Structure 1
Amino acid sequence: MKRLKFEYRTSVKFDGEVIDHGFLLRCIPKEEERQHLEYYRLDIWPETEVKVADDFWKNTTVQGIIVRPHRSFGFNICGEVTVDLSRPRKTGHPIFAYPTEYTQTSPAMEALTERLLREAFGDVRQVCTPQQPEEEQANALSKALCLMNGLYDIFEYRQNVTRTTTTAAEAFALGQGVCQDYAHMLTAMCLYAKIPARYVAGFMLGEGHTHAWVEIFSEGSWYGLDPTNNLMVDETYIKLAHGRNALDCSVLRGGFKGNVRQNQEIYVHVEEVE
């Protein structure tokens, strides 16, 4: 078990005034079996009333609207969470067995998935499904790790070559991308192999930006895999949200009236509390 202190700040500046600015945030760490939010403080500017509620995936959302003219918008959240991977496990949901437009495989991705599993396990047809008994799902985690290792070997981390709307197949064809692309691709490959998988957004120990990874369902439990770093997720990661893809987990969404350009800065810091 680890106790982690976090701070997350996003600041957006506009080169002119905007009005009727509606926003939806998923910046509050998720409360679930293995993660407990000890406390948090959230500041939003310009100050406005907000509504805190759960979305379909039980991720905490913060919604609000700023009607008056303003040239900047931002929020800062800080607090502490306790992460304990030994806590009781959670059952799967059948919706995480099916791809979305962002997690569809291409023929090249399918060929790689089949080759990796064949080389490591022989018969690629021997994959798990959510309906199979737990004893038949024993290889789901090892298969997902195999796919993650193979993806890591051929894909290059590079910023500014993909967009927030880039699909798994598009990123795979480029051969380069960021953590969102890694997570979409691994999710797609796992789903093709009949391994239930979901997209996760959150933080990891250190200083930088938000991060994305994957959770797969095996032997009655969700396991986190970080394909960007080729690591299993441990107790130094903080989850904000999970869903079918990045769109379900977006930390900041919104819209406003105004013909302006904007500049966004993000800061994340996570440290372990002794």
Structure 2
Amino acid sequence: MKTLNFSFSTKLTFDDYVHDHSFALRIIPPDTESQKIISCSLNISPSVITKQTVDAFGNNVTAGYIHRDHRFLDFDIKGTAEVDSSKHNIFLMPCYLYQSEYTVPDEELKGFYSELKDNCTGKPADRAVYLSDILSDLIEYKKGVTTTATTAAEAFAMRAGVCQDFSHILISLLRMDGIPARYIAGLAFCDGETHSWVEYWTGDHWEGIDPANNCPVNDDYLVISMGRDFRDCAIDRGVMFGRYTQQLQLVRSVLT
């Protein structure tokens, strides 16, 4: 078990005023069997009344509405958690066995799995490690070539991407192999940004693997949200009115 101090901040800046802005944040880490949140404070600017709910995947959702004109939305969390990766979550949702929006394979990715499946044997843990090893050799970790809208098939075709892309590709392969898998968004000892990894179903519990770093998940990882793919785990989503054409997002995280 390890005690982690965490902080995460996001600054959204719009190039013109917006109003009637409804938003939903998935930023408060959940209490699970493997992590206990000792403390967590959330600050949002502009100041706004919010409502706390929990979605179907067990993620904490902070919903808010800003009626007045504004050109930014800033939010941050700070807190402490106790993480014990030897304890496991044991609730399986059937949806994790089926491909989702970001993980649907194209013919190239299906063909790649077909070439591997005869060697993908043993327990789910053995197969997950095998597939992660293959991806580590094949896919280049490279920033700037993909976006948050890039699918597993698109990243695989480029043979490059970041942690989100590694996770989507591995999830796609695991589901083709009959292993339920889910996308995890959170914090790790990386480069000051959010991170993503994968949890696969062993047959009786969830186990974490980080395909971007090709390693098992340990007590140095803090879960913020989980779901079928990135769409279920997006830190912030919202709709608004205004003349803005783009937004600038600055993200910073610290885990100690």
Q: TM-score over 0.5 for the alignment? A: yes
- Partner residue of 1:263? 248
Q: Is there any run of 5+ residues in structure 2 with no aligned partner, and where?
A: none
1:244-269 Cα distance to aligned partner (Å, 9 max, x none): 11000110111211112321110000
Q: Does 1:46 align with 2:31?
A: no
Q: 1:140 aligns with which of 87, 105, 124?
A: 124
Instruction: Report what 1:208 is aligned to.
Output: 192
- TM-score where L is the length of structure 2: 0.95
- 2:23 counterpart of 1:10: no
Between structure 1 and structure 2, the one with the greater Rg is: 1
Cα pair 2:102 2:151 within 8 Å, conserved:
yes
Aligned to 2:34: 34
Check whether the contact 1:57–1:242 (CA below 8 A) recurs between aligned residues: yes
Structure 1 residues 158 and 88 mapped into 2: Cα distance closer, same or farther (>3 Å)?
closer
CA distance in 2, matches of 1:120, 1:187: 14
> Residue 57 of structure 1: CA displacement?
0.6
CA deviations over 1:8-57 (Å, ceiling 9, x no partner): 00011223211111111000012111111111111000000000110011
Work out whether 1:244 is the aligned partner of 2:250: no
Match of 2:201 among 205, 217, 225: 217
The corresponding residue for 1:80 is 80
Equivalent residues in 2 for 1:135-174 (5 A)? 139-174=123-158
- Report the alpha carbon displacement of residue 163 of structure 1 after superposing the two structures with TM: 2.1
Where 1:6 maps in the other structure, the secondary structure is: strand
Say what the alpha-carbon RMSD is for the aligned residues: 1.4
Amino acid at match of 1:241: S
Report the CA distance between 1:72 and its aligned residue. Answer: 1.5
Q: Secondary structure of 1:208's match?
A: coil
Tell whether 2:168 aligns with 1:181: no
Give how far 1:120 is off: 5.5
1:120-148 deviations in Å (ceiling 9; x for gaps) = 54xxxxxxxxxxxxxxxx61111011001
> In 1, distance between residues paired with 2:110 and 2:191?
35
* 1:94-153 deviation digits (Å, cap 9, x = unpaired): 2111111211122322333233342354xxxxxxxxxxxxxxxx6111101100110111
Question: Quick one: percent identity of the two aligned structures?
Answer: 37
Q: Give TM-score scaled by structure 1 length.
A: 0.89
Aligned residues: 255
CA change 1:120–1:193 in 2 (3 A) is closer
Counterparts of 1:46-125 in structure 2, within 5 Å, are 46-87=46-87, 89-119=89-119, 121=121
